[in-house]
Structure 1
Amino acid sequence: MPLSALTLSSLPATIQTPTYDRTAHAPGVVHLGLGAFHRAHQAMVFDQLLTRGDTRWGIHGVGMTRPDLVNQLRAQDGLYAVRIADAQGVKWQVLGALWRTNVAATERDAVVQAIAAPATRWVTLTVTEKGYTQALGQLLLDGLRLRQQAGLPGITVASCDNLQGNGHKLQALVKAQISSNDTTPQDAQLLRWLDALCAFPCSMVDRIVPAATPEVMAAAQEALGVQDNCALSTEGFWEWVIEDRFADPSDAAVLQSAGVRVTGDVHSYEEAKLRMLNGSHSAMALMGAVTGRPFIASCIGVDHIRTFVHQLMGREVAPHLSRSDWAEYRDALIARFGNPYLKHSVHQIATDSSQKIPQRWPPSVLGQIAQGASFEHHALAAAVFVRYTLGVDENGQPYALNDPQADSLMALGAAQRTEPAACVRALLSREDLWGTTLPHNTAWLARVTHWHQHILQHGVDAAIQQLLAQEA
Structure 2
Amino acid sequence: MGGGTTGARPGLWAGQEGLQIVRLNAGTVHSLPADVIRPSYAVAEQKCGIVHLGIGAFHRAHQAEYTDLAMSQGDRDWRICGVSLRSAGVRNQLEPQDGLYTVTQKSAGAAKTSLVGSIAQVLVAPENPEAVVAALASADTHIVTLTVTEKGYCQGAGGALDETNEAVATELAGGDPASIYGYLAQAMERRKAAGLGALTLLSCDNLAQNGKQLERLLLAFLERSNPELAAWCAANCTFPSSMVDRIVPATTGKDLDLLAERLGVRDEGAVFTEAFSQWVIEDVFAGARPKWENAGAQLVQDVHPYETAKLRMLNGAHSAMAYLGLERGLVFVHEAMQHDAIRQLVGRLMRVEAASSLSPAPGQDLAGYADRLKERFDNPALEHRLVQIAMDGSQKIPQRWLETLAFHQQDGGDCPALLEALASWIVHVRGGSANVNDPMAGRLAQLWSEEGMAGIVPALVGRGGMFASSYIADEPTISHLQRLVAARSD
Alignment pair present for 1:121 and 2:142: yes
Once structures 1 and 2 are overlaid, which stretch shifts more, 273-282 or 437-446?
437-446
Alignment pair present for 1:338 and 2:382: no
Cα distance in 2 between the residues matched to 1:91 and 1:436 = 45
| Paired position in structure 1 for 2:488 | 455
Q: Is this contact kept in 1: 2:402–2:470, CA < 8 A?
A: no
| Paired position in structure 1 for 2:392 | 352
Q: Is this contact kept in 2: 1:92–1:223, CA < 8 A?
A: no
| Paired position in structure 2 for 1:381 | 421
Q: What's the CA shift for 1:192?
A: 4.7
Once structures 1 and 2 are overlaid, which stretch shifts more, 69-78 or 423-432?
423-432
State the 4+ residue runs in structure 1 displaced beyond 6 angstroms.
none
Once structures 1 and 2 are overlaid, which stretch shifts more, 193-202 or 204-213?
193-202
Q: Specify the SS of the correspondent of 2:113.
A: strand
Amino acid at match of 1:363: E
- Deviation track 1:345-393 (CA, whole Å, cap 9, x = no partner) reads 111111000111111111111111111111211111111112212446x
Taking structure 1 as the reference length, the TM-score comes to 0.89
Q: 1:32 to 1:429 in 2, by over 3 A?
A: same
Cα distance in 1 between the residues matched to 2:69 and 2:463 = 45
| Paired position in structure 1 for 2:368 | 328
Alignment pair present for 1:236 and 2:275: yes
Q: What's the CA shift for 1:194?
A: 2.7
Aligned counterparts, 1:272-283, within 5 A: 272-283=309-320
Amino acid at match of 2:82: G
> Matched residues, percent identical?
40
Q: 1:137 to 1:437 in 2, by over 3 A?
A: closer
Q: What's the CA shift for 1:428?
A: 3.3
Once structures 1 and 2 are overlaid, which stretch shifts more, 434-443 or 99-108?
434-443
Q: Is this contact kept in 1: 2:248–2:273, CA < 8 A?
A: yes
- Deviation track 1:431-466 (CA, whole Å, cap 9, x = no partner) reads 675333744521221121122233334xxxxxxxxx
| Paired position in structure 1 for 2:157 | none
| Paired position in structure 1 for 2:212 | 168
Q: Specify the SS of the correspondent of 1:455.
A: helix
**Runs of 5+ consecutive residues of structure 2 not aligned to the other structure:** 1-21, 155-167, 169-178
Q: What's the CA shift for 1:89?
A: 4.1
Q: 1:377 to 1:329 in 2, by over 3 A?
A: same
Amino acid at match of 1:7: T
- Deviation track 1:255-293 (CA, whole Å, cap 9, x = no partner) reads 222211111110001111111111111111111221111
Alignment pair present for 1:400 and 2:473: no
Cα distance in 2 between the residues matched to 1:179 and 1:321 = 34
Q: 1:433 to 1:256 in 2, by over 3 A?
A: farther
Q: Is this contact kept in 1: 2:458–2:465, CA < 8 A?
A: no
Amino acid at match of 2:218: V
Q: Is this contact kept in 1: 2:25–2:96, CA < 8 A?
A: yes
**Runs of 5+ consecutive residues of structure 1 not aligned to the other structure:** 393-397, 458-472
Cα distance in 1 between the residues matched to 2:260 and 2:41 = 24
Q: Is this contact kept in 2: 1:212–1:230, CA < 8 A?
A: no
Amino acid at match of 1:54: D
Q: 1:153 to 1:192 in 2, by over 3 A?
A: same
Alignment pair present for 1:266 and 2:303: yes
- Deviation track 1:80-105 (CA, whole Å, cap 9, x = no partner) reads 11111235642111211110110112
What do you get for the CA RMSD once the two structures are aligned? 2.1
Amino acid at match of 2:383: K
- Deviation track 1:165-198 (CA, whole Å, cap 9, x = no partner) reads 1111212222223345974xxx2xx445433332
Once structures 1 and 2 are overlaid, which stretch shifts more, 68-77 or 349-358?
68-77
Q: 1:217 to 1:180 in 2, by over 3 A?
A: closer
Which residue, 88, 110, 113 being the options, matches 1:92? 113
Q: Is this contact kept in 2: 1:283–1:381, CA < 8 A?
A: yes
| Paired position in structure 1 for 2:76 | 55
Aligned counterparts, 1:145-184, within 5 A: 145-179=189-223, 183=227
Q: Is this contact kept in 2: 1:26–1:58, CA < 8 A?
A: yes
Q: Is this contact kept in 1: 2:208–2:304, CA < 8 A?
A: yes
Amino acid at match of 2:267: D
| Paired position in structure 2 for 1:462 | none
Cα distance in 2 between the residues matched to 1:333 and 1:142 = 41
Q: What's the CA shift for 1:327?
A: 0.8
Q: Is this contact kept in 2: 1:154–1:194, CA < 8 A?
A: no
Which residue, 444, 450, 455 being the options, matches 1:409? 444
Q: Is this contact kept in 2: 1:81–1:220, CA < 8 A?
A: no
Amino acid at match of 1:435: A
Q: What's the CA shift for 1:22?
A: 2.5
> Size of the alignment, in residue pairs?
443
Q: Is this contact kept in 2: 1:358–1:433, CA < 8 A?
A: no
| Paired position in structure 2 for 1:132 | 153
Taking structure 2 as the reference length, the TM-score comes to 0.85
Cα distance in 1 between the residues matched to 2:225 and 2:24 = 53
| Paired position in structure 1 for 2:90 | 69
| Paired position in structure 2 for 1:104 | 125
Q: Specify the SS of the correspondent of 2:43.
A: coil
Cα distance in 2 between the residues matched to 1:181 and 1:140 = 12
Cα distance in 2 between the residues matched to 1:3 and 1:95 = 12
Once structures 1 and 2 are overlaid, which stretch shifts more, 12-21 or 378-387?
12-21
- Deviation track 1:41-98 (CA, whole Å, cap 9, x = no partner) reads 0001000012123222101011110112211211221111111123564211121111
Amino acid at match of 1:228: D
Q: Is this contact kept in 1: 2:57–2:248, CA < 8 A?
A: yes
Q: 1:312 to 1:177 in 2, by over 3 A?
A: closer
